[in-house]
Chain A
């Protein structure tokens, strides 16, 4: 499904990585490891198509992602360091808008259900500026529940989350993989998905 060959990336004069090769198939999960500054985020952003690699190709379903453009965007979900939520909007509005941007018109009921599952019961209508850091992250992560994307690209999904939320995310990932989804992620906290072999990609 996702084939990366001979990928090289640099920021400014600094070469982050080169000659990177890997394949990811349906139902597989891969963790990108490496020290700070080793290019984990850059790799994920390259996979999203924000960064143009210096060399190499990223191929999705046999076609280069650059050529697929919007068709590829339809099949991926990216969650970066930034939550992409607006302080002035309520959790509910935020979720409905971000789902809308990813091409899904979400009914209010579906959105409320998703937020409740993320443990935000009673906070659906509050402006997100009154929520805690972890709760905001939960609002952002609620997108995982309402998305139909095949490939999840998650940059530090567990940051600012408590134990309960981490367990929930692991559960969501397991569900996604069981439905033949794919996940690429980075993390500094351990993430375990029962019964699935975790592939590791190390950037040095």
Chain B
């Protein structure tokens, strides 16, 4: 049996599908956030060396991992859009960008909050933090380029090309920053305990999944509004019940 995958790559079909999918991600995300935060703040034990401060890790680590990952996913969608000329892929890419940038920003802020009690400074030029900062610049570049081009098709394609160039550059940047960091004997954020406690691991996993589900729900919602905006002149949009009323 052959499934026609391209059917779902049409904005018309995807609009409805995304609408049905959102609760399936949003509700579990909310539940897992509640569980994860409860575990993080109340269940997970106090760390021997870092005391209570380490708890910010439960937000910092998931957002850090996902922010880098989302850039690659965004570039992947952008590449699909560029190669196969599917409009939905380009819309997905531009829907992911703000969430990716937000996660990067949260990761930077929580990193700073973590750094202050640990090293006595809000910002240290540690390799991971520096890479995150550069990643934020890359997200800003994508968003700014997309926003400066009025014609949607050119905006999609130009931003897609930039995302691809950026994603090729991400490993090089990451490597060069690490290299620079070892050269200057900078400090690295390392978890002090020799082995992370099992509750901590579970909490971290819960929070990561929660962030992941939240991101999917938000991206789907954003794609829906992008579809509405882009296709506002078509017949199927004007026949939608939510548009009519």
A residues lining the B interface (CB < 8 Å): 11-13
Contacts and interface: CB of A to CB of B under 8 A. Distances in A.
Contacts of B152: 12
Q: Is the interface of A mostly helix, strand, loop or mixed?
A: loop
Interface in B150-199: 150-152
Contacts of B150: 12
A12 B233 CA distance: 11
A11 B154 CA distance: 11
A42 to B, nearest CB: 13
A13 B152 CA distance: 9
A51 to B, nearest CB: 10
A12 B152 CA distance: 7
Interface in B204-228: none
Contacts of B233: 13
Contacts of A12: 150-152
B139 to A, nearest CB: 26
B146 to A, nearest CB: 15
A13 B233 CA distance: 8
A130 to B, nearest CB: 37
Contacts of B151: 11-12
A68 B150 CA distance: 31
5 tightest Cβ-Cβ pairs between the two chains A and B: A13-B233, A12-B151, A12-B152, A11-B151, A12-B150
B168 to A, nearest CB: 25
A138 B199 CA distance: 81
B236 to A, nearest CB: 15
A11 B150 CA distance: 11
Contacts of A11: 151
Interface string B124-154: 0000000000000000000000000011100
5 contacts: A11-B151, A12-B150, A12-B151, A12-B152, A13-B233
A185 to B, nearest CB: 27
Contacts of A13: 233
Nearest to B233: A13
A194 to B, nearest CB: 43
